[in-house]
Amino acid sequence: MDAPIIELAARVKDIKASPTLAVDAKAKALKAEGADVLNFSVGEPDFDTPPHVCEAGKAAIDERFTRYTPVPGILPLREAVCSRLSADHGWHYQPDQVQVSCGGKHGLYNMAQALFGPGDEVLIPAPYWVSYPPIIQLAGATPVIVPLDEESDFDLDPAVLHQYVSPRTRGIILNSPSNPTGSVLSARALEAIGKMALERGWAVITDDIYDTIVYGSDKLPHILDVDPRLSEQTLILNGVSKSFAMTGWRIGYTAGPKHIIAAMNKIQSQSTSNPSSVAQRAALAALTGPQDFPVAMRDAFVPRLAFIMEALTAMEGISCVRPRGSFYVFPNMSWCYGRKAKDGQVIADSVSLADYLLEKALLATVPGAAFGADSFIRFSFATSMEVLEEGMKRLAVALGELH
Ligand SMILES: *Cc1c(COP(=O)(O)O)cnc(C)c1O
């Protein structure tokens, strides 16, 4: 007799694994087979963690700083987060208003578990980061997707937002600069969101993970600068994954009202206990040491952004909003939907286009469908100029073969 197949919980059946990580895995598998894959799908900087940060991690091991830490993270790290928020933005937080988590994604997860449940609706502007809807669903709540327009540079139109608000709305997730579009929310949009949030008592989650990767010199508008009262209902999410090229160390942080951070700490205490002690020491070195690394990394992205924008918009049919931050471009590729490849394969949507580009041109990209926007595909330009040049050549050839 066969062993019985164990049923899975309903909550996991409704969830898909992260599509960006799936594309990355497929590209890496092809590469392992010897294929010359150019990877534009990765969502991480192509820089190494700065040496002084690595040294701090090594020193932590040598000092045997290898035991459990306090649930919300070590005090010096939470103090360092407060200092950065104050120095960089003029916002004042105390260490008991900060939680350090196992990456920014985990901070969002703790937050959703602490704030939302069945019957609650959470507004998510689309294109959105792939993990927002499943994280809300895993809390038992309902993601409500608010479409943004390419024509308005993916800014949020308050009139459109109104259409998706209901008495069950409990919160909204903001991400500016955005992954995948690189767009930022205007002061006008943030004012309207802030006003609605104050009137209706929403939690405002602001994912600021790309706030050190901004092009141009203008200070980005921020929801907390709209009205000081909003700090009572806003959660700031950030981390060192992108700013210090530390994706593998898994350190993120959340700052917000004390009672919400305390609730998140309860969740963390019963799940991961604390983030890695060694990684916390490394993150401490990142936040308290010289701040030139994020600036140098941003500066290195500038010519790559200029190159890929020019290459994409020179191709027939493609339109692409110029990113104001992040290391992604999100061109509209819908002109080729419905066309056929040489072998008769029909490019029906963003998923079949990404498959075609991976199989025929050995270009790994992420289909826009993963971000709730099927007309687009995402290219990361956190890759060398040589790869960008070769990749854009291959893209032009592959698209030229469609008819
Ligand atoms: C990368 C990223 C994060 C955080 O990632 P972690 O690796 O979990 O720190 C959060 N939000 C967005 C939009 C991201 O792209």
pLDDT tens by residue, 224-272: 999 999 999 999 999 999 999 999 999 999 999 999 999 999 999 999 9
β-sheet with 377-380: strand ranges across: 328-329, 377-380, 366-367
- For 274-290, what is the HEC assignment? CCCHHHHHHHHHHHHCC
Q: 19 pLDDT band (50/70/90 cuts)?
A: low
CA distance 218 to 239: 22
* pLDDT score recorded for residue 23: 76
Alpha carbon 383 to its chain's center? 17
Tell me which residue has its CA closest to atom 15 in ligand 1: 179
Q: Does the CB atom of residue 72 touch ligand 1 within 6 A?
A: no
pLDDT in tens, 285-309: 999 999 999 999 999 999 999 999 9
Q: 399 pLDDT band (50/70/90 cuts)?
A: very high
**Conformation bin of residue 377: beta by default, left when phi > 0, alpha when psi is -120 to 50:** beta
Amino acid occupying residue 215: Y
Contact 148, 38 (CB under 8 A): no
φ, ψ for residue 7 (rounded to 5)? -70, 145
Instruction: Please enumerate in sequence order all residues whose Cβ is within 8 A of that of 239, keeping only pairs 6 or more positions apart, or say none.
Output: 103, 104, 107, 209, 251, 252, 253
How many angstroms is it from 301 CA to the middle of ligand 1? Answer: 18
* pLDDT score recorded for residue 277: 98
pTM (predicted TM-score): 0.96
Q: Is 90 exceeded by the pLDDT of residue 49?
A: yes
CA distance 282 to 343: 51
**Structural domains of the chain, with CATH:** 10-48+293-400 (3.90.1150.10), 51-288 (3.40.640.10)
CA distance 173 to 312: 30
Instruction: Please enumerate in sequence order all residues whose Cβ is within 8 A of that of 207, keeping only pairs 6 or more positions apart, or say none.
Output: 104, 108, 129, 173, 174, 175, 237, 238
Q: Which of 183, 207, 211 to mutate to test the pocket of ligand 1 (most atoms within 8 A of CB)?
A: 207
Instruction: Please enumerate in sequence order all residues whose Cβ is within 8 A of that of 258, keeping only pairs 6 or more positions apart, or say none.
Output: 94, 96, 97
Rounded to the nearest integer, the mean pLDDT of the chain is 95
Q: Is 80 exceeded by the pLDDT of residue 3?
A: yes
Q: Which atom of ligand 1 is nearest to the CA of 108?
A: 10
How many angstroms is it from 241 CA to the middle of ligand 1? Answer: 7
φ, ψ for residue 2 (rounded to 5)? -70, 150
* pLDDT score recorded for residue 42: 83
How many angstroms is it from 209 CA to the middle of ligand 1? Answer: 6
Residue bearing tokens 């942080």 = 253
Residue bearing tokens 């600068």 = 225
CA distance 28 to 187: 40
Q: What is the DSSP letter of 17?
A: P
